[in-house]
Chain A
Amino acid sequence: MATRVIRWFLVLVSVAAYQGLLGEYLCPGGTGLRYDLLVIFLAGLSGGATRGVLAGGLVGFITDCLTPDFLGWGMMVNATLGLAAGMSRERLFLERITARWLVFALGIAVHDIIYMLPISGFDLAVYGRTLLVNSTISIAVTSVIGTMTLVAHQSWRKPKVPLGSIASKIGISR
């Protein structure tokens, strides 16, 4: 239990460290590597829905603290994202790299579509510009890095059970 708490604490510290130290350079103006979303996706895709929800809730909570007016909103959206990532791990066949990348890209896109609406003050011009410019670049960068990280992580640590219930059911081995 203590190990888990420490692990989650380190994950949150890493998110805070990224925001505080590197976010200005790697994600200026919210355009670039979205480390918080990356963490949520990786937790969901590698650990399942529960971990995804937990990661989404915690990461969403601490990042919401930077914009207190929207405290709780990011937590809600990110938890949903983590749940979706975890469920996609369990219900989709994600052995192919392109499939993982697609899940990453679609997830970030849906996240931004939902999350940015109140953040932009329901100004459709700002909302559209944010999605077209900022989100597009962020999706490209984050999904590629996330996919590569996931592949590297799984090649480093072989899963005890094959990914995806469909794969295990039809007996496809890697």
Chain B
Amino acid sequence: MLGLLKIRPFAAGPSAAYLWTIITACVLSISGPAIKGAISSLIVRTTFAPFYSGNAAIKGIFSVYRMNQELLSKVVGLTAENARLTEAGRENARLRGMLDFETRSGYSITPGEVVGSPSAPVRGTIWISAGASQSLNIGSPVITPEGLVGHIADRVGGLFIVRVLWDRDCRVAAIDRRSRVTGLVQWQSGPNLSFNYVPIDGDVAVGDTILSSGMGERFPEGIPIGFVRSVALDSTTFFLSVAVKPFVRFEILEEVFIIQYAHSWSRPENP
């Protein structure tokens, strides 16, 4: 007990040190909750709090990193999904337009999907699939809401080979919508078509719309073909040299319509 009276209890040996520690511990144990709370709060705030804060900060960094990784993977997934939905939306709009066109056109038409298109800038055929339709014949005109595409040239299995206007052998009897001047639309070279056999004094102007005239009996009357891009006087012939830009972009076709072929076309009544 003499150790208790010394100023430096730990210098008196382990017994005194232990005794002092036990007494301190007992005093702390029997002290009230308020004192315990105050002492604990002081020690925790000064000793533990900085390390707990550091731990929280480190965990926060890892948490942000992990969250960033998760968000990045979500962004990638959502970007892909967005692209898919955008494409689906475009397809939906296209199909709606085609459905509307089918109603407006008044012809008996069958939808078809392009399965092979010209790879070269100018190539005269595309391959289309029209499902299990058996009523389509060689020669049936192929159109889109934008205008005339061509006609069915052959059938191979379940697919149809369409000869488009970019083929030299695809000729269309045509008429200028404004002046009613007639001629023959035919491809000669380049991306444009040629509106042939227009007399020198024919009234054809740049911007005029060229339609099928129905005179050749291969294509019905009134299907848009393109617009006049340039008109020039060919001094070697008696005809104008008229370049027509087709309304249909043959290189990016996806869906088309095939009109049931008839030997004599009658203008359908629009609903």
Q: Which of B37, B47, B50 is packed against the most chain A CB atoms within 10 Å?
A: B47
Contacting pair A86 B54 (CB below 8 A):
no
Contact partners of B27 in chain A: CB under 8 A:
72
Contact with B along A5-46 (1 / 0, CB 8 A): 000000011001101110010000000000000000000000
Surface stretch bound by A, among B9-17, B166-174, B253-261: B9-17
Total A-B contacts with CB atoms under 8 angstroms apart = 104
Contacting pair A65 B18 (CB below 8 A):
no
Contacting pair A20 B50 (CB below 8 A):
yes
Contacting pair A71 B40 (CB below 8 A):
yes
> With an 8 A cutoff between CB atoms, is B69 at the interface?
no
> With an 8 A cutoff between CB atoms, is B21 at the interface?
yes
Surface stretch bound by B, among A50-58, A150-158, A165-173: A50-58
Contacting pair A71 B14 (CB below 8 A):
no
A71 to B44, CA, bound (A): 12
Q: Interface size class for chain B?
A: 20 to 34
Interface residue total, chain A, C-beta cutoff 8 A? 34
Q: Which of A13, A56, A79 is packed against the most chain B CB atoms within 10 Å?
A: A79
Other-chain residue from B13, B39, B43, B47 in contact with A50 (beta carbon distance below 8 A): B13
Contact partners of A75 in chain B: CB under 8 A:
21, 24-25, 28
> With an 8 A cutoff between CB atoms, is B232 at the interface?
no
A24 to B13, CA, bound (A): 37
Residues of B within 8 A of A (CB): 10, 13-14, 17-18, 21-22, 24-31, 33, 36-37, 39-41, 43-44, 47-52, 54-55, 58
Known: A65-B48, A66-B48, A71-B36. 18 other contacts (CB 8 A): A19-B48, A20-B52, A20-B54, A21-B51, A49-B13, A53-B17, A56-B21, A60-B25, A64-B28, A65-B39, A65-B40, A65-B43, A66-B40, A68-B33, A68-B36, A68-B40, A76-B21, A86-B14
